[in-house]
Amino acid sequence: MIRMPAPDEAVLARRSEIVDALRRIVPGEGVIDSEPERRAFECDGLTAYRQLPMVVVLPETTAQVSEILRYCHANRIKVVPRGAGTSLSGGALPLQDGILLGLGKFKRILDIDVENRCIVVQPGVTNLGISQAVQAQGLYYAPDPSSQIACTIGGNVAENSGGVHCLKYGLTTNNVIGVELVMMDGEIIRLGGKHFDASGYDLLGVLVGSEGMLGVVTEVTVRILPKPPGARALMIGFATIEGVGHCVAEVIATGIIPGGMEMMDHLAIEAAEAFVHAGYPLDAAALLIIELDGCAAEIDHLIAAVEAIAGRHGATSCRASQSEEERLLFWAGRKAAFPAVGRLSPDYYCMDGTIPRRQIGTVLQRMEEMEAKYKLRVANVFHAGDGNLHPLILYDANRPGELQRAEDFGNDILRLCVEVGGVLTGEHGVGVEKRDLMGTMFNDSDLAQQTRLKCAFDSESLLNPGKVFPQLCRCAELGRVHVHAGNLRFPDLPRF
């Protein structure tokens, strides 16, 4: 298990004073103090890790967020921001000596601006809520993480969330165009807006995916797109994993970027089929679902092209959806893959590495060897288009040692992803979960530079500490400058 930073006893001793101070900023029920109520916030989607927060505060205005942060900054109190708490990497795991800052009350849609193709919302609006707000106009918000019913746009910004459509339509970072941000010292700034690009450093770009460590977002402007006029899905069975790999590679090399391209292995197919009866081919080693969207002329053209490619790579079955109901049925199994796999086993652990796609065969082979080593089974679902793997490790937390074995297995999978040229996380974030693996991808120099950026936003390291970086940030040490002959440039600037 990953260790969190040791709590600050001095802060813990001042708990009741801190609660009172927060009550002065957020009156009424916005400050949650009692243990049973705080319990509801003790974990996020990474449920193996739990910690009761010192106190929970649920502000309703940007001014309150600013005051809370200003107070915490002045009193050196740690803050963990939280959206809906659906993070799969422990990004919103509370701290024993920290305030949990929930943005759940920021639920308003502020401005639907069809002309400028954007919508301004508060961070507690759900991902799906954005698309629903503009569906009457034939528009939608493209990134669609599978938790989109529950997850909030504020959390999406923190984690740079993806989804099945991101190969074609991009991640959160490619679709967020502005934010209002409160920094740890309480200063409120605006980054971006309804216009294109930034002037000066692209701080919006670096904020997205910063896992709640650079600031607290209180307003978000995102790009909305016209809905494609149509979409059809192909469900293609393969006798071998290699066949899938080659088929995906050729689809892309041919110049086709499908709206979605998902792979499931045999165990995932079995689980999903038993759960939703989508008509998946149970005899296949692997299944590929490819969605093509656009106008009818384009879809028909591309379906024919993909069918031909699949045929060349040993597809054992191939069905194109003939109706919207059928398309949704094809997807139903994939979208329910996690709960479906959950029925096979009391617990499962969902991993999230990205690999160069050409390595898929090697990686799945090595994972099979690991299954034998750790005596645990793995079901694989895979965003095949962008190489993002989601191995689901099946285990039983009630059996002594199995959780630890599952974690060790997961870590081995992620190390393997890095070894073959990939990365630790494609869309779930580093959080607590992968924090101690950062060294497999980055050396000290790389991490020091990342930490220096953190210091520019939060010099006391009060915002979501203990996440992402294996070592707590020490801004003063990182700031050391070697000076030759006493010539320091900008000698009047403060060094910290």
Residues 384-403 that bind another protein (CB under 8 A): 386-388
Residue that the structure tokens 């607290």 belong to: 216
Residues 235, 67: Cα–Cα separation, whole Å: 53
CB of 21 to another protein, least distance (A): 24
Counting Cβ atoms within 10 Å, is residue 369 exposed (0-12), middle (13-18) or buried (19+)?
exposed
CB of 364 to another protein, least distance (A): 17
Residues 62-121 touching another protein, rule: CB under 8 A, are: 113-117
CB of 454 to another protein, least distance (A): 8
Write the interaction track for another protein spanning residues 335-364; mark x where CB under 8 A is met and - where it is not: -------------------xxxxx------
The answer to whether residue 186 forms part of the interface with another protein (CB under 8 A) is: no
Q: Which one of residues 2, 65, 441, 473 is an interface residue with another protein (CB under 8 A)?
A: 441
The answer to whether residue 171 forms part of the interface with another protein (CB under 8 A) is: yes
Residues 428, 435: Cα–Cα separation, whole Å: 12
Nearer Cβ to another protein, position 58 or 424? 424
The answer to whether residue 255 forms part of the interface with another protein (CB under 8 A) is: yes
The answer to whether residue 173 forms part of the interface with another protein (CB under 8 A) is: yes
Counting Cβ atoms within 10 Å, is residue 68 exposed (0-12), middle (13-18) or buried (19+)?
buried
The answer to whether residue 198 forms part of the interface with another protein (CB under 8 A) is: yes
Query: Which among 23-31, 233-241, 380-388, 397-405 is the span making contact with another protein, rule CB under 8 A?
Result: 380-388
Bridge partners, residue 312, by sequence: none
Q: Which one of residues 1, 29, 34, 196 is an interface residue with another protein (CB under 8 A)?
A: 196
Alpha helix (H) ranges present in 101-191? 127-134, 153-159, 166-169
- The count of C-alpha atoms lying within 13 angstroms of the C-alpha of 390, restricted to the half-sphere facing its C-beta, is 25
Q: Which tokens belong to 366?
A: 């090595």
**H or E element: which one contains 16?**
helix 15-25
CB of 15 to another protein, least distance (A): 32
Nearest CA-CA partner of 156 in 148, 164, 168, 166? 148
The answer to whether residue 314 forms part of the interface with another protein (CB under 8 A) is: no
Residues 400-429 touching another protein, rule: CB under 8 A, are: 421-429
Residues 337, 340: Cα–Cα separation, whole Å: 5
- Listed in sequence order, the residues at least 6 apart from 257 whose beta carbon sits closer than 8 Å to its beta carbon are 167, 168, 385
CB of 265 to another protein, least distance (A): 19
Q: Which one of residues 40, 110, 308, 456 is an interface residue with another protein (CB under 8 A)?
A: 456
The answer to whether residue 474 forms part of the interface with another protein (CB under 8 A) is: no
Counting Cβ atoms within 10 Å, is residue 105 exposed (0-12), middle (13-18) or buried (19+)?
middle
Q: Which one of residues 317, 450, 470, 471 is an interface residue with another protein (CB under 8 A)?
A: 450
User: Is the separation of the CB atoms in 63 and 57 below 8 Å?
Assistant: no
User: Is the separation of the CB atoms in 248 and 299 below 8 Å?
Assistant: no
Residue that the structure tokens 């093509």 belong to: 292
The answer to whether residue 226 forms part of the interface with another protein (CB under 8 A) is: yes
Nearer Cβ to another protein, position 51 or 146? 146
Nearer Cβ to another protein, position 174 or 317? 174
Nearer Cβ to another protein, position 74 or 483? 483
The answer to whether residue 442 forms part of the interface with another protein (CB under 8 A) is: yes
CB of 193 to another protein, least distance (A): 5
The answer to whether residue 159 forms part of the interface with another protein (CB under 8 A) is: yes
